[in-house]
Every structure is written in C-alpha cells, then in structure tokens.
Amino acid sequence: MEREKGVKWRIVLIGILFTASVILAVLFFKNIVQAEKQLKEKILSPEEIAQKQEFERFFNREQQDAATEFFGKIKSNPDVPESYVGLGRLYYGVTVKFGNEEPMQKARGYFQSAIAADPDYAPAHAEMGWVFLSSLEFDRARGEFERALSLNQTKESWLGKSWALYGAGKYNDALASFEKTAAFSGNFSGPGAGELSLSALAGLGWSDYRVGEFALGKKYLEQAGNDSVVRIGVAAAEYALGDAKASQQLLDSLHLDKIDLIVPGGEMSIRGPVGRMNVDLMNCIHERSITPEDIGYCVREHPEFGILI
C-alpha cells in the first residue's frame, strides 16, 4: 500500500515538473520573440537614421519626440493630413524663431503634402497661407487663406487674409478685413494667441495709417505692444499728425542698434550703427510703398546714418 502511494506521488511530481518545464519553455520562447522584436525596432533603416539626424539638427528634445511621432504616423498612414501639418508646423516654428530658409522649405513641402492628402483640410491651406505670407507671396497667401475660410471660418485665417491684402497694397480692403478679424467671435487660440492679438491690433493701426486715419492708426498701434515696428508706426503717425518733435523723441527713445521696419505682411531688418533714426529717413520710408527696393532707395538717400540692409 505504501509502495503504491509512493508511485502515485512520484507520478504527480513528474507531472508537476513537466508542466512547470513546459510553462518555463513557453515563457522563454516568448522572451526570445520579444527580444528579437525590440532588436528589430532598434535597427533603423538608412532613411530613418537620416530623418532622426535631421530632427536632432533642427529641434529640441521635446520637438524631436513630436516630430518622430508625426513621421511614424505618416509612414504608417500617408493619407492623413494632420500628421503632415503637425510636422510642417514644427519646421515653420524653427523658421519664425531663427529665420532659417531650409526649415521653411521643409514646412512648405509638408503643408503641400497635407493638401495633396486632403484638398478640403482647412488647416493645411491656412498654414500654407502663412508660409506664402512669410515669403511675401501675397496673392498666393490670400488664395490659401480664402480657401481655408471657405472650408472653416477661423479668426487666424481672417488675420492671415488681412495681412495678405495689406501686403498687396490693398489698404482699404485690408482695413475692412482687419475689422472683420476684430469682430469675429471668440479669441485667438494656441500658444501664440497673444502675439496674434497684437498682430491684429497692429494691422488695424497700419491700415488706418495707410488710408489717412492717422489718429485712429496711432490709437491701435499704441495698443499693439512695444516692439520696434509698432513704435516706429506710432512715430510715423505722430509725424503725419504734424508733431515732428514728438515723433523724433519717440524714435530717439528706442535706442536701437537694430531697427525692424515693417514691410507688407512682414518685417525687414535694417542693421548697422543706427544710433538714432532720423524723422526724414523714417518719413521717406513711410511715404513710399514699403517694398525692400523702396527702403533701399530711402537708405541711399540718407547715407550719413550708415545704415546697412
């Protein structure tokens, strides 16, 4: 009897050991498969390596992670426009911050890809509008903003269209568009909302100035922040209102060695040992149509200031 019990226990023990060995073998196999999968994931293709190096060149760590995520989504589903727009915005942000032309071209390419993926995706048209605006391609910018507005009305697209009209020299139309931007319900959204609000006020001010409403232009410009472009606009309005002394005092108070002058839809940096900006030079610039060539003309007419474009 005792012998039979011993045999039974040995059989049970063997069964337990066999079951345990099977479980361990399965777990071991799964670990091997998972390790192989992780190893494959770590081995990047030449294209992925080049893309990773590019992201490291342009973006900080957080932006690199976002760019990698967008790039992965594009690879897995190239027909979704949101991923192209997300990646394009990252490149456009680098351009705005550092003025580098290469990321601007990258941004343009990704926004074009977004439009190709879905021609009715409004944000892609709006973002392309800002790219054209930054490149001073005002008619193309206006077309993109109007397309975006036809698909989805946003305050940001109205602002973009307004600056495109201003850039094209259509100041009355620009003023009407800036007024529509101001009247549009809601506020600007996103991390750049404050800057866009100031841009809208500056647009109202410059447009009023351009159509001869100098006092109103001064009022809006005074509300549009304290950067040099806005302050020079206030000085221009003071001058146009007949107070050359106040205009010169304001210019003198800036104490700039770099002055950013407004050009249609953007800025042009005039660098050099400015010291002070003379009213005559400022007035020459604002009497003309404010193209780069016009600014060059005015600077050449006042070489005593040693200003270089």
> Residue 44: what pLDDT?
58
> Residue 178: what pLDDT?
95
Question: What is the rounded distance in angstroms from the CA atom of residue 247 to the CA atom of residue 234?
Answer: 8
Burial of 286 (0-12, 13-18, 19+ CB in 10 A): buried
Intervals of the chain under pLDDT 50: 7, 12, 22, 26, 35, 38-41, 256-277, 292, 303-309
Task: Say if CB 91 and CB 107 are below 8 A apart.
Answer: yes
Task: Say if CB 204 and CB 220 are below 8 A apart.
Answer: yes
**Any idea which residue has 């957080």 for tokens?**
62
- What pLDDT digit, counting tens, does each position of 201-250 carry? 999 998 998 888 999 999 999 999 887 778 878 887 888 888 878 887 88
Report which DSSP code applies to 184: S
Instruction: For the chain, give every domain's residue range.
Output: 59-152, 226-309
| DSSP calls for 231-254 | HHHHHHHHHHTT-HHHHHHHHHHH
Question: What is the rounded distance in angstroms from the CA atom of residue 307 to the CA atom of residue 271?
Answer: 6
pTM of the model: 0.70
> Residue 259: what pLDDT?
45
- What pLDDT digit, counting tens, does each position of 59-79 carry? 778 878 888 888 888 888 889
CATH topology of domain 59-152: 1.25.40
Please calculate the CA angle 252-298-208 and round it to the nearest 5 degrees.
70
Which residue, among 251, 268, 253, has the nearest Cα to 308 in the 3D structure?
268
> Residue 223: what pLDDT?
94
Alpha carbons within 13 angstroms on the beta-carbon side of residue 291 total 8
Which residue, among 158, 145, 220, 219, has the nearest Cα to 185 in the 3D structure?
158
> Residue 24: what pLDDT?
52
